[in-house]
Amino acid sequence: MTIKQFEDKPLAHYSYAIISEGKMALVDPARNPFPYYKYAEENNAKIVAVFETHPHADFVSSHLQIHKETGATIYVSKLVGANYPHQAFDDGNTITLGKTIFSAINTPGHSPDGITIIAKDEKEKYAMFSGDTLFIGDVGRPDLREKAGNMIATREKLAKSMYNTIQTKFNHLPDETLVYPAHGAGSLCGKNMSSDSSSTLGNERIGNWAFKKQTEEQFVDNILSDQPFIPSYFGFDVDINKDGAKNFEKSIGDVSLKMAVDSLPKNSLVIDVRDEASFKKNHFHGSINIMARDENDKIETWLGAIVKPEERFYVVINSVRDKDEIINRIAKIGYEPQVIAIVTLSDKSKEKSEPFDFENFNKNKEGYTIIDIRNKSELS
């Protein structure tokens, strides 16, 4: 059994390919399926299975496209109510690929329909693909499924489910079991995740707060406190993943490009992804600057936090060279159909951002309104 971890740094998302005897399974694949196709080709392997641990809230998965293009079977819990071709995969279900046996454990807590995938090879070595249930140093937040998905549940109910999951669901697995989560530090699907991308179950039993001896009430209080904000797009993505996303290349190919634009319709929602200096030099009136200079700028998260799923918008870029990268990043959260057009600015400047006058502010503070945009979890 060979395990390959793929990382999407802006979303702190991990997906996986497992190869055994020329057969390849994927776990929680990202929106763009081509890195997995390339890996399969490089290893002379055939993609035959896609495991979805649950309908993800923070990114759109390519499971349906992979099924259509490779014939791979999608395995997901029956509780998801999936509207795409699939095979139910729940407690007691197993499949064998090559010399690796995959089994499912229903692990509600982050979501009511979550499963953990257990892989065991011919050498009796175990790996668990824990989705958003068990992270390294943390567990998945329980407050994302109060309105979205086939099954909805209150955060309190899911917090109690997570307590039971951690207390009972993994007890039969050895300490040496490798733990591969769907997210790492920087994800909004938890609050105290380690920067480590994998661990062992033994290490988590020792170092993860969720495994420490505590009452259900103590656990629930802990997991519900100080969770980060919930972006607007999270429920939207749960529903996309329940239905299956559109073809990635076709969907991004439908987005038009307009060059050297002088003006946009009045009251348009405009997202300007250029760097700070370029934005200050000239921009459209009312533009929102969400920088996308590199993968450290989390445009995916902030776009999905500021723009609601039903809103359409323009995207301003520096150069046509940036178009493909930007639309690919927007597509990760399923927002590409909402893009009216991607545009570059003409030389006729629109508005400029003047430097803030700190001297005047210090002398006339009563003339200013201060808006604190921090989240509750950021306040001390």
Domain containing residue 92: CATH number: 3.60.15.10
The answer to whether 142 and 163 have CB atoms below 8 angstroms apart is no
Mean predicted confidence (pLDDT) in 77-106: 98
Residue 298 carries which side chain, given as an amino acid letter?
A: K
Verify that 140 and 271 share a domain, yes or no: no
Count of domains observed in the chain = 2
Mean pLDDT of the chain, nearest integer: 95
Residue 377: pLDDT band (50, 70, 90) is low
Verify that 174 and 258 share a domain, yes or no: no
- CA 136 to CA 225: how far, in whole Å? 19
Residue 131: pLDDT band (50, 70, 90) is very high
Distance of CA 3 to the CA centre of its chain: 20
R_g of the chain, CA atoms, integer Å = 22
Q: pTM of the entire structure?
A: 0.93
The answer to whether 328 and 253 have CB atoms below 8 angstroms apart is no
Verify that 229 and 264 share a domain, yes or no: no
Structural domain of residue 178, as residue ranges? 2-240
Mean predicted confidence (pLDDT) in 2-24: 98
- CA 358 to CA 127: how far, in whole Å? 56
Q: For residue 142, how many C-alpha atoms fall within 13 Å in the half-sphere facing its CB?
A: 25
pLDDT tens, residue by residue, 143-155: 999 988 888 899 9
**Helix intervals (H) in the chain:** 34-42, 63-70, 155-168, 201-207, 216-224, 234-243, 248-253, 276-281, 299-306, 323-331, 358-363
Q: Where are the beta strands (DSSP E) in 28-177?
A: 46-51, 73-76, 87-88, 94-97, 100-106, 115-120, 126-131
Q: What is the pLDDT of residue 326?
A: 98
Residue 232: pLDDT band (50, 70, 90) is very high
Distance of CA 49 to the CA centre of its chain: 21
- Axis-axis angle for helices 63-70, 34-42 (nearest 10): 50
Residue 370 lies in a domain: no
Q: What is the pLDDT of residue 234?
A: 97
Verify that 292 and 319 share a domain, yes or no: yes
Residue 356: pLDDT band (50, 70, 90) is confident
Mean predicted confidence (pLDDT) in 92-112: 97
Verify that 104 and 136 share a domain, yes or no: yes
Verify that 229 and 83 share a domain, yes or no: yes
pLDDT higher than threshold 70 for residue 265: yes
Residue 354: pLDDT band (50, 70, 90) is confident
Sequence-ordered list of residues with C-beta below 8 angstroms from that of 172, at least 6 positions apart, any chain: none
Verify that 192 and 315 share a domain, yes or no: no
Mean predicted confidence (pLDDT) in 219-242: 95
pLDDT higher than threshold 70 for residue 181: yes
**CB neighbourhood size of 5 (10 A):** 12
Q: What is the pLDDT of residue 57?
A: 97
Verify that 251 and 235 share a domain, yes or no: no
Q: What is the pLDDT of residue 151?
A: 85
**CB neighbourhood size of 233 (10 A):** 25
